C-alpha cells in the first residue's frame, strides 16, 4: 500500500512539473506574439498568488486557434485535469495537509 501511495504521489508531482513546463511554454508563446505585458502579469501573479497560472491557461485557450496551438492547449488541459483529479483523490485519502 505504501509503495502504491508513493507511486501515486510521484505521478501527481510529475503532472505538476508538466503543468509548470506548459506554463513556461505559454509565457514564451505570449512573448513571441507580442503579448509581453500579459506574460509579465501572469508570471508575477503566478509567483505571488498562483492565479497567474489559471489566467495564462484561460488566455491560452482564447488564443489557441489564432496562434495555432490547439494541440498544445489540449495536452495542457489533459495534464491540468488529471493533476486536479489526482489532487482531489490525494486530499480525500487524507494524504495532503
- Of 82, 87, 90, 88, which Cα lies nearest the Cα of 18? 82
CA distance 12 to 33: 31
Which three three-digit cell numbers place residue 5? 501511495
pLDDT given for residue 96 in this prediction: 66
| C-beta atoms surrounding 26 within 10 Å | 23
Q: Which domain holds residue 85?
A: 15-90
In a domain, 3, yes or no: no
In a domain, 44, yes or no: yes
In a domain, 4, yes or no: no
Predicted model pTM: 0.87
CA distance 86 to 80: 10
| C-beta atoms surrounding 38 within 10 Å | 19
pLDDT given for residue 97 in this prediction: 63
* Total number of domains constituting the chain: 1
| pLDDT one digit per residue (tens) for the chain, 97 residues | 778 778 887 888 899 999 999 999 999 999 999 999 999 999 999 999 989 999 999 999 999 999 999 999 999 999 999 988 988 887 887 776 6
Amino acid at each position: 500500500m505504501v509503495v502504491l501511495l508513493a507511486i501515486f504521489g510521484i505521478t501527481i508531482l510529475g503532472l505538476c512539473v508538466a503543468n509548470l513546463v506548459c506554463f513556461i511554454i505559454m509565457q514564451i508563446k505570449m512573448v513571441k506574439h507580442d503579448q509581453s505585458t500579459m506574460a509579465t502579469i501572469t508570471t508575477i501573479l503566478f509567483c505571488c498568488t498562483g492565479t497567474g497560472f489559471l489566467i495564462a491557461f484561460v488566455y491560452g485557450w482564447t488564443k489557441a486557434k489564432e496562434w495555432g496551438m490547439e494541440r498544445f492547449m489540449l495536452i495542457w488541459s489533459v495534464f491540468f485535469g488529471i493533476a486536479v483529479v489526482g489532487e482531489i483523490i490525494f486530499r480525500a485519502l487524507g494524504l495532503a495537509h
